[in-house]
Chains A and B, each alone.
Chain A
Amino acid sequence: MCRWMMGATCSSSRRDFLKKCLTGAAVLGAGGGAGLLAAAEQREAFAKSRVVIARDAMLRGAGTTVDSRRILSLLDRALQAIFDRDNPIETWKKLVRPGETVGLKVNALGGPGFCSNPLVEAICERLQQAGIKANDIVVWDRDSDELERAGFHVSMGGNRVQCYGTDRVDYEQELVTRGSVGSRLSKILTQRCNLLINVPVLKDHDGAGVTIALKNMYGVIHNPNKYHPNGCNPYIADLNMLPEIRSKMRLTICDATTAAYEGGPGYKPQYSWKNNALIVSQDPVALDYTGWQIIDRKRAENGLKTLEGDGRAPHYIATAADRQHRLGTNDPGKIAVVEV
């Protein structure tokens, strides 16, 4: 799904729009029943939010750790499926431009059990091949110690990829407000990054139901503890409406290589599974909805109630999709799940 269809601003939306008009016109111009059918299919495809699930059963080979080359390949497959491109570098060039500073908002809270380091290294490799300088990439979360604990190497300065927490640069002094939320934003978001790639983990959450793309933005603010009542609803949706977040968000690449169906958000080995997958979308609501279904299926396999049955359905996903927010869609009829 294109960002302009999600109601978000996007620097390339006009160009995309013109392209789609031209494509549509060409299809219509072809005439005949087949042409009209193709046009309808194309319109339908554009009307749906695309969520790509890229899976590799051999991601870890015979071992337990993720193979760096295979995850790069998995990432390429996922991105190519999202953007309909054959060349992985060209895919990334569609997303970023040289000179931009790219923030990779990871989720370090789960510690080494949910280490996203191999995925992040793969993303960084492709970003640099797409023309982004290493030191214009910032891998970040709220706290440097948490990043270290999760297996990232904290580094500031030099020509390397940057990796640090907001604790190193502070939050803005001024509050930003939206609906139920009033918070100070990380200066990494407001001052350091031009654009954001969200790199959450697929996890169960004892309060929110699930924590995937939308909830990962809790790591952007100084007071996430204030927004956990009522299953984080409507706080998560309101937070993601902040222009500073919405305008910079380009893509979500969810690390679902190791996922948790219960006991989250901390890592509990007994409730996690090697899922060996990435989930990628430009629609965070559709991605979260899809992730929720995956977690519920895994819960059923393990004899657990659904999150709804457990009284923890992530209602914030529906709020994020409602008329006041329009951050994406949670309507399964409008989500195209593509497995590659």
Chain B
Amino acid sequence: MARDLDAQEGVRNPVDNAAEGESPLIRCKRGLFSCALDRRSFLNCALASGAALCVCEFARPLVAAASWAGPQKQDDSRFTVEAKFYQKLQNKKIKCKLCPRECTVGDRERGYCGVRENRGGTYYTLVHSRVSAAHIDPIEKKPLFHYLPGTLAFSLATAGCNVNCKFCQNWDISQVRPEQVPAEYAPPKLVAELAKQHDCPTIAYTYSEPVVFSEYLMDAADAGHEAGIRSVVVSNGYMQEEALRTAYGKMDAVKIDLKAFTESYYKDVVVGELKPVLDALVTLRKMNKWTEIVYLVVPTLNDGDSEFRGLARWIKTNVGVDVPVHFTQFHPEYLLKNLPITPVPTLERAKAIADAEGLHYAYIGNVPGHPAQNTYCPKCPRMLVERVGFTASRMLIRKGSCPFCGQPIPGVWHA
């Protein structure tokens, strides 16, 4: 099976959530480590990683999905597994209990996510082991800054998403049905095996929206743990509590995209709701899951001082000042091409407000070389982790503490 995957020539290199600005597609030739990068991507990579760093080391292809050469029928049966979170209703209808949307789905129909189908009154996920994107990424790309810095994550995604963010950078896999994109069959044990082969201590469920492939994620996490591989998830957190506890209970770390701090933004731009996401963050806190938060700053839509302040105060009150928050730069994509890239001063303003409100770890993301990508001790305040792009170039934390003043630095720093 590994050979099946290795044999592919192209690679899909989607962006983790909407935080990064790079072109989502980089195609590489297997084994040659030569990248067909466009000029902008090359410059981005060079800036991010330093001229001496070969980005292709992080771009080894695992699954081909960069472009669809033409329609091809996939064998649906091997990806189809009964869903875990739903309730049967009369007349062969079901109610999905995975996310707060609670789709009522008639026979032969699918839920909002497009990857779950009612067949005769039984609800099925169509994306178990159906990988539409796979890649080896630095864990910093998720971004997880306080979790095994400098390591690699075997990152994968299926098609589908339970929201429809107008700025989505991976919309060509997240906003499609599984049969509309090429996919490879990657059962859980194979994923764990490949992660091990490629020296990845972690499997990351990312790119599209892992909520919608919860069953696969759970099985892959189990297979990973049996093989000594951890699991992290990059998610919008728009999930019902029971599903969250069951599925993300198997994760070793979680990154949540908190897309704004107003319900109106969630309704108009995300097509979701804010409150369940805030509830999910609180639940994760109660579960003692290592959690980081990303806030994509979109010019004019969610970049007001009051929102930044409200967000920072909510975090401080409800999940604690030690939860890292990444204010990341927006790049025009998908249905929001009419807005400019977020100005760096706006991101700096967001961070300044978070700092002033007492958050200990507010970062600026997607701005290569910005000093706010580094981790500083909140007490002394010396630099403890230096990052260049997605690479942790210096790591000074010892035994979870600042080596200069002994201040504990929360996170999972060593395997």
Show the binding face of A for B, using Cβ within 8 Å.
109, 111, 167-171, 175, 177, 182, 206-207, 222-223, 225-226, 228-229, 263-266, 268
Contacts and interface: CB of A to CB of B under 8 A. Distances in A.
Nearest to B101: A229
B355 interface: no
Contacts of A226: 112, 114, 164, 175, 271
Given A167-B179, A175-B335, A206 B106 contact: yes
A206 B335 contact: no
Contacts of B112: 225-226, 228-229
Contacts of B334: 175, 182
B176 interface: yes
Interface in B102-127: 103-104, 106-114
Give the size range of B's interface with the partner. 20 to 34
Given A111-B108, A225-B111, A225-B114, A266 B92 contact: yes
Nearest to A166: B71
Most B C-beta atoms less than 10 A away, residue of A109, A171, A175, A225: A225
A228 B180 CA distance: 19
A170 B92 contact: no
Given A175-B334, A182-B334, A226-B164, A263 B177 contact: no
Nearest to A207: B104
Nearest to B69: A170
B174 to A, nearest CB: 10
Interface in B75-92: 91-92
Given A175-B334, A228-B112, A170 B68 contact: yes
Interface of B: 68, 70-71, 73, 91-93, 101, 103-104, 106-114, 164, 166, 175-177, 179-180, 271, 334-335
Contacts of B107: 266
Nearest to B73: A167
5 contacts: A177-B335, A182-B166, A226-B271, A263-B91, A268-B91
A340 to B, nearest CB: 34
Contacts, number: 56
A157 to B, nearest CB: 15
A169 B68 CA distance: 11
Contacts of B91: 263, 268
A266 B109 contact: yes
B109 A169 contact: no
Nearest to B161: A226
Contacts of A222: 176-177, 180
A223 B68 contact: no
Contact of A225 (B68, B73, B104, B113): B113
Contacts of B103: 228
Contacts of B93: 206
B114 A223 contact: yes
Nearest to B179: A167
Given A263-B91, A266-B109, 20 more contacts: A109-B108, A109-B109, A167-B71, A167-B179, A169-B71, A170-B71, A171-B180, A175-B334, A182-B335, A206-B106, A207-B104, A223-B114, A225-B110, A225-B113, A225-B177, A226-B271, A228-B103, A228-B112, A263-B106, A268-B91
Ordered nearest first, which 9 A-B pairs have the shortest CB separation?
A: A225-B114, A266-B107, A182-B335, A170-B71, A226-B164, A266-B106, A225-B110, A266-B108, A263-B91
Nearest to A265: B106
Nearest to A205: B106
A222 B114 CA distance: 10
A223 B108 contact: no
A164 to B, nearest CB: 10
A182 B93 CA distance: 28
A206 B106 CA distance: 8
Most B C-beta atoms less than 10 A away, residue of A167, A169, A266: A266
Contacts of A265: 106, 109
Nearest to B120: A266
Given A111-B108, A266-B108, A223 B175 contact: yes
Contacts of B175: 223, 226
Nearest to A149: B108
Nearest to A263: B91
A229 B103 CA distance: 9
Contacts of B177: 222-223, 225
Contacts of B164: 226
A109 B110 CA distance: 12
Nearest to A165: B71
Contacts of B68: 170
B107 to A, nearest CB: 4
Contacts of B70: 170
A231 to B, nearest CB: 12
Nearest to A225: B114
A171 B70 CA distance: 10
Nearest to A226: B164
Contacts of B179: 167
B104 A206 contact: yes
Contacts of A177: 335
Nearest to A143: B179
Most A C-beta atoms less than 10 A away, residue of B70, B109, B166, B271: B109
Contacts of A223: 114, 175-177
A171 B288 CA distance: 44
Nearest to A223: B175
A66 B108 CA distance: 25
A177 B335 CA distance: 8
B14 to A, nearest CB: 16
A171 B181 CA distance: 11
Nearest to B113: A225
B67 to A, nearest CB: 9
A268 to B, nearest CB: 6
A182 B111 CA distance: 18
A41 B108 CA distance: 48
Given A223-B114, A223-B176, A229 B335 contact: no
A188 B68 CA distance: 17
Nearest to B335: A182
Contacts of A182: 166, 334-335
B407 to A, nearest CB: 47
Contacts of A268: 91
Contacts of A171: 180
B335 A168 contact: no
Contacts of A206: 93, 104, 106
